[in-house]
């Protein structure tokens, strides 16, 4: 097959063991949109495999130019697709796919490691130790504490199960889906759902979960409705002394409001893997989250495991291969109009 597929550097590094098995050439391309669009035209490629960087402009016209009547594909190396403009893709007859169901264990486990770091002041003790200060700090157990989950999708449900069945936490879950709709979607009663995932409460009231939790973990997609969902008001619906974890999308948390809530010791800890700007830059230079001892930070690494990277790469490769073969029914498409 003489098709050339472009993949951005980080995705190549993560998926190389799988990509080298492809029956078409996969070439490394710049991750920025201008560079990627230029590479599409230069390499005459109508298929790109991309990470979570924003693509809102020249890439689409470039892909349409090369794809023509044959079409083109933007294959996400991952599950979130807020960084891809689906309306623009549809306008240029570009298929958009993602990789569902292959990274939820990795992200859920990363979420729990962040919860643990906060509970036991792990990063603070580590930093002091490496600085030559032998300073034990008193933490708390997770058993019996309440974990609030905002967003009860595949990842949120996996977190609930680990937290309850693994650590003995009480778990509250909130989502926009009504309890009745959840029962219908799952084909189970609410009692069966609660037992399966180890949740005490399922509700559409995010405030009820915020108010009742010692730890709040966010598993919401980035949409106009979830932008700054954790704003100053909702952060103060949280119990005084509660802690926040976010491995979903940075735009869901108002970072300035979070800084202020931590500075006033309302929120007493936060662990973040995603940020409003990535790589991280403080929204307000005077309110840099990196300066706070109560904050644990990882660089959008929740899904970055050998197992998830292999699964993501296999799924992305399947989507591109099926697209080239015209087997569009096999694609994990996310370009439909909402």
Q: Which of residues 269-328 bind ligand 8YV (CB under 6 A)?
A: 300, 303-304
How many residues bind to ligand 8YV according to rule CB under 6 A? Answer: 13
Does residue 77 belong to the site contacting ligand 8YV (CB under 6 A)?
yes
Token pair of 42 as six digits: 């230069």
Residue 185: how many other CB atoms lie within 10 Å: 10
The torsion angle over the Cα atoms of residues 185, 218, 257 and 266, rounded to 10 degrees, is 110
77 vs 197, which CB is nearer to ligand 8YV? 77
Pinpoint the alpha helices (H) of the chain: 9-19, 33-43, 58-67, 86-91, 104-119, 122-130, 154-161, 167, 179-186, 190-197, 206-211, 232-235, 255-263, 306-325
Helical (H) or strand (E) element with 96: strand 94-97
Q: Which CB atom, from 213 or from 251, has the smaller least distance to ligand 8YV?
A: 251
**Candidates 76, 234, 249, 276; catalytic one:** 249
141 tagged catalytic: no
Catalytic residue among 278, 310, 330, 333: 278
Question: Of 4, 6, 14, 218, which lies in the binding site for ligand 8YV, with binding defined by CB under 6 A?
Answer: 14
β-strands 4-8, 25-29: how paired?
A: parallel
Residue among 12 and 210 whose Cβ is closer to ligand 8YV: 12
Q: Does 78 bind ligand 8YV (CB under 6 A)?
A: yes
Let me know if 249 is a catalytic residue: yes
For residue 244, whether the previous peptide bond is cis, meaning omega lies within 30 degrees of 0, is no
Question: What's the maximum distance between 2 C-alpha atoms anywhere in the chain?
Answer: 66
State the binding string over 227-246 for ligand 8YV (x if CB under 6 A, else -): --------------------
- Alpha helix ranges (H) inside 134-282: 154-161, 167, 179-186, 190-197, 206-211, 232-235, 255-263
Q: Does 121 help bind ligand 8YV (rule: CB under 6 A)?
A: no
51/198 with CB nearer ligand 8YV:
51
For residues 40 to 69, the per-residue mask of contacts with ligand 8YV, x marking binding by CB under 6 A and - elsewhere, is -----------xx-----------------
Q: Tell me which residue has tokens 């609030």.
A: 148
Residues at the contact surface with ligand 8YV, assessed by CB under 6 A = 10-11, 14, 51-52, 77-80, 103, 300, 303-304
Supply the residues annotated as catalytic.
Answer: 249, 278, 300
């Amino acid at each position: 097959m003489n098709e050339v597929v472009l993949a951005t550097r980080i995705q190549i590094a993560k998926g190389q063991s799988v990509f080298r098995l492809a029956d078409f050439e996969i070439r490394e391309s710049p991750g920025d949109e201008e560079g990627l669009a230029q590479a599409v035209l230069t390499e005459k490629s109508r298929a790109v495999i991309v990470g979570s960087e924003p693509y809102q402009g020249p890439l689409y016209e470039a892909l349409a130019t090369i794809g023509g009547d044959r079409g083109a594909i933007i294959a996400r190396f991952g599950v979130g697709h807020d960084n891809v403009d689906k309306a623009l893709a549809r306008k240029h007859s570009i298929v958009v796919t993602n990789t569902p169901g292959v990274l939820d264990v990795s992200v859920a486990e990363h979420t729990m490691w962040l919860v643990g770091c906060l509970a036991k002041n792990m990063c603070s003790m580590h930093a002091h130790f490496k600085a030559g200060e032998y300073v034990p700090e008193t933490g708390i157990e997770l058993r019996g504490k309440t974990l609030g989950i905002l967003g009860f999708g595949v990842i949120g449900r996996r977190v609930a199960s680990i937290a309850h069945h693994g650590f003995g936490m009480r778990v509250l879950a909130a989502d926009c889906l009504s309890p009745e709709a959840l029962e219908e979607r799952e084909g189970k009663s609410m009692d069966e759902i609660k037992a399966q995932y180890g949740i005490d409460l399922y509700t559409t009231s995010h405030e009820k979960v915020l108010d009742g939790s010692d730890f709040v973990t966010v598993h919401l997609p980035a949409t106009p409705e979830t932008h700054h969902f954790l704003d100053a008001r909702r952060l103060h619906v949280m119990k005084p002394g509660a802690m926040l974890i976010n491995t979903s999308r940075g735009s869901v948390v108002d970072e300035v409001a979070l800084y202020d809530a931590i500075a006033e010791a309302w929120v007493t800890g936060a662990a973040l893997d995603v940020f409003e700007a990535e790589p991280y830059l403080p929204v307000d230079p005077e309110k840099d989250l990196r300066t706070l001892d109560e904050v644990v930070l990882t660089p959008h690494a929740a899904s970055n495991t050998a197992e998830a990277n292999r699964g993501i790469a296999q799924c992305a490769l399947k989507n591109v291969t099926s697209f080239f073969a015209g087997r569009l029914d096999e694609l994990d498409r996310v370009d439909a109009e909402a």
